[in-house]
Structure 1
Amino acid sequence: MPLNIKDLAVAADGFGPGERIPDRHAADHGNAAPGIEITGVPAGTAELALILHDPDAPLPHGFTHWVVYGIDPAAPAVPAPGPVPGGAVREGPNSLGDQAYTGPQPPPGHGTHHYYFWVYALDTPVVGEPSREEFLGAYGDRVIEQNRLVGTYSA
């Protein structure tokens, strides 16, 4: 399946591409998940997934802050402070092993980190609540389109 990256878009409440993520979303300043809006969902999308990942974290695979499955392509949003009403959203484990949002919190003196809010339009529903690594391994070839919003944060 050819990968299309021109129409799908992701936006967050309170910051834009390359901008600093507001403190209220940081782990030590309220830990409130930002509202996420997804537009340009391609035809044939069965489900959307959202993964918030920090590749700058000093760990072999970076740090995964949030894993969300079951986002309805007909109502593609994850409003703050929680999941879509009606139980349409499932959370997978983050790098702490929690099925929840964990905001930015780079180690002291580690500089500015980049936080990737990846959105994936899938041609099939995700089964269960896989981790980021499990999801990419099992569903990488089921992605119709993907895009990301990158925000920054430093302690």
Structure 2
Amino acid sequence: MAFTLIVKGFADGEFIPKRNTCDGEDSSPALEWSNEPQGTNSFALIMEDPDAPVGTWNHWLLWDLAAHLHALSDGFRPGTVGSSGNNDFGQQGYGGPCPPKGPGSHRYYFTLYAVDRPALGLPPGANRQDLDRALKGRVLAQTQYMGRYGRGR
């Protein structure tokens, strides 16, 4: 079976519930994953919006999630497990979808990485570029789940 990520509360490619956005509670959704490859020693997660007007916007950066973990509960808070980076809102932890008001919707990709080492050596608050550098050559597999969100007029 393939390495798989499921984001609870919406089907892959469908709309993210309001409670998980800036228009609701801005609470992270629950995640579950399975079938990571042999040799996985930790996981890393990136949630990003490639449709942001300023270019890709990073909403959530997590790494050093222990290999025995296969889920994160909804409303995950930094410091619970693993390490959290600074999102593009300038905060550690989850920053929910918050596209500009207007027609259409943005895509939000949750990408989970199976990593070959238990720790990447990054301090809490590291940014996306730091995480990308630390992951280089360390990813055994990755899986992705996509949700959409739009704010109308």
Same fold (TM over 0.5): yes
**Counterpart contact for 2:77–2:93, Cα < 8 Å:** no
Question: Deviation at 1:110?
Answer: 5.3
> Which ranges of structure 2 fall in alignment gaps of 5 or more residues?
none
Q: Distance in 2 between matches of 1:27 and 1:103?
A: 6
Choose which of 135, 146, 149 in structure 1 pairs with 2:131.
135
Q: Distance in 2 between matches of 1:18 and 1:110?
A: 18
Secondary structure, counterpart of 2:140 in structure 1: strand
Q: Distance in 2 between matches of 1:87 and 1:24?
A: 21
Q: Distance in 2 between matches of 1:23 and 1:150?
A: 15
Q: Which residue is 1:154 aligned to? A: 150
Q: Which residue is 1:24 aligned to? A: 19
Q: Distance in 2 between matches of 1:87 and 1:23?
A: 24
Secondary structure, counterpart of 2:136 in structure 1: helix
**Counterpart contact for 1:32–1:103, Cα < 8 Å:** yes
**Counterpart contact for 1:42–1:144, Cα < 8 Å:** yes
Q: Which moved more, 1:87-96 or 1:113-122?
A: 87-96
Q: Distance in 2 between matches of 1:113 and 1:13?
A: 19
Q: TM-score, normalised by structure 2?
A: 0.89
Choose which of 66, 89, 95 in structure 2 pairs with 1:72.
66
Identity of aligned residues (%): 34
Question: Deviation at 1:88?
Answer: 2.5
Q: TM-score, normalised by structure 1?
A: 0.88
Q: Distance in 2 between matches of 1:38 and 1:140?
A: 22
Q: Which residue is 1:105 aligned to? A: 98
Q: Distance in 1 between matches of 2:54 and 2:103?
A: 13
**Counterpart contact for 2:21–2:27, Cα < 8 Å:** yes
Q: Distance in 1 between matches of 2:85 and 2:36?
A: 22
> Which ranges of structure 1 fall in alignment gaps of 5 or more residues?
1-5
Q: Which residue is 2:82 aligned to? A: 89
Amino acid at match of 1:136: D
Amino acid at match of 2:51: D
